[in-house]
Amino acid sequence: MSQRTFVAALAFAAFISLGLPDGLLGVSWPSIRGEFALPLDSLGLLVAVITAGYLTASGARRSGRPNS
């Protein structure tokens, strides 16, 4: 496998892994909602918490980098 093919495969895997949790949440939410008897607006809170986690993790990674 050439380096170019490896980098393309790695980029593809990263792209899929970033979108997979959001896609799975949309598919599994009706079952989660029914199992735990949650109201529909709980999905908004869950998405807000996930977004805050992404932003926090992104900020933590950026603050650890040296200035260049």
Report the pLDDT averaged over residues 13-34: 87
**Domain range summary for the chain, segments of one domain joined by +:** 20-63
pLDDT(23) > 90:
no
SS3 9: helix
- Chain Cα centroid distance, residue 14: 11
Mean pLDDT for 41-56 is 89
Whether 23 contacts 29, CB under 8 Å: no
Residue 47 CB neighbour total at 10 angstroms: 14
Q: For the full predicted model, state whether its pTM sits above 0.85.
A: no
Within 2-64, residue ranges assigned H as helices are 3-36, 42-63
Residue 14 scores a pLDDT above 60: yes
52 against 57, higher pLDDT: 52
Residue 62 — pLDDT band, cuts 50, 70, 90?
Answer: low
- Is pLDDT at 65 greater than 70 in this prediction? no
